[in-house]
């Protein structure tokens, strides 16, 4: 079972996972993710960041933050699950928790950007109700980007 813990993007375990995902991006895209990101983006009440542990081993991470100028739309960022920890439901558990936290903070819509080369990621998000949305953010003009989003259910 995945143990999800609030964390910071600059936590030592987050930095290890960030190095791994950046190496993957170099392999898949030919370069690292250059979208500027600051740990403060994920601080409550404007965002959140989670590390997922299998025992005491960090295996997953992800965060959410409100889109600039919005109090109802958030973006998911830095979603990553280590290769050896995939296909165990960790990504689904992490995404569900990120969506729940965002909804609790007032979000009504969630969006994210991935890329065409990440076929499994695109399939994963679509299977969870994400559809194409208008391009946004740093990679809005990148031809291989896939911009996805969905409405969150109303808070109870």
> The domain that contains 51 carries what CATH number?
3.40.630.30
Residues 6+ apart with CB under 8 A from 95: 62, 76, 79, 128
Q: pLDDT per residue over 109-156, tens digit each?
A: 999 999 999 999 999 999 999 999 999 999 999 999 999 999 999 877
- Angstrom distance (rounded) from CA 8 to CA 38: 10
> What pTM, to 2 d.p., does this model score?
0.95
Q: pLDDT per residue over 62-112, tens digit each?
A: 999 999 999 999 999 999 999 999 999 999 999 999 999 999 999 999 999
Residue positions counted in the chain: 156
| 137 phi-psi bin (left φ>0, alpha ψ -120 to 50, beta other) | left
φ/ψ of 105, rounded to 5, equals -85, 0
Strand partners, 118: none
Domain count, the chain: 1
Asked whether residue 35 is assigned to any structural domain, the reply reads: yes
Asked whether residue 33 is assigned to any structural domain, the reply reads: yes
Asked whether residue 40 is assigned to any structural domain, the reply reads: yes
- Neighbouring CB atoms inside 10 A of 107's CB total 24
- The pLDDT of residue 36 is above 80: yes
- The pLDDT of residue 43 is above 90: yes
Asked whether residue 156 is assigned to any structural domain, the reply reads: no
- Angstrom distance (rounded) from CA 113 to CA 153: 21
8 Å CB contact between 106 and 67: no
Confidence class of residue 3 from pLDDT cuts 50, 70 and 90? very high
Asked whether residue 73 is assigned to any structural domain, the reply reads: yes
Query: pLDDT value at position 135?
Result: 97
Asked whether residue 61 is assigned to any structural domain, the reply reads: yes
- Could you tell me the residue range of the domain that residue 45 belongs to? 3-151
Label each residue of the chain as H, E or C.
Answer: CCEEEECCCCCHHHHHHHHHHHHHHHHHHCCCCCCCCCHHHHCCCCEEEEEEEECCEEEEEEEEEECCCCCCEEEEEEEEECHHHCCCCHHHHHHHHHHHHHHHCCCCEEEEEEECCCHHHHHHHHHCCCEECCCCCCCCCCCCEEEEEEECCCCC
């Amino acid at each position: 079972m995945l143990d999800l813990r609030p964390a910071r993007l600059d936590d030592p375990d987050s930095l290890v996972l960030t190095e791994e995902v950046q190496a993957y991006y170099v392999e898949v895209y030919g370069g690292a993710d250059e979208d500027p990101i600051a740990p403060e983006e994920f601080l409550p009440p404007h965002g959140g960041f989670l590390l997922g542990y299998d025992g005491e081993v960090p295996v997953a991470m992800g965060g959410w933050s409100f889109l600039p100028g919005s109090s109802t739309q958030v973006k998911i960022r830095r979603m990553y699950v280590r290769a050896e920890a995939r296909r165990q439901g960790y990504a689904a558990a992490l995404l569900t928790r990120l969506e729940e936290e965002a909804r609790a903070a007032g979000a009504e819509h969630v969006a994210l950007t991935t890329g065409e080369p990440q076929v499994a990621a695109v399939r994963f998000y679509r299977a969870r109700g994400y559809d194409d949305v208008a391009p946004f953010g740093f990679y809005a003009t990148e031809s291989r980007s896939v911009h996805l989003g969905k409405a969150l259910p109303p808070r109870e």
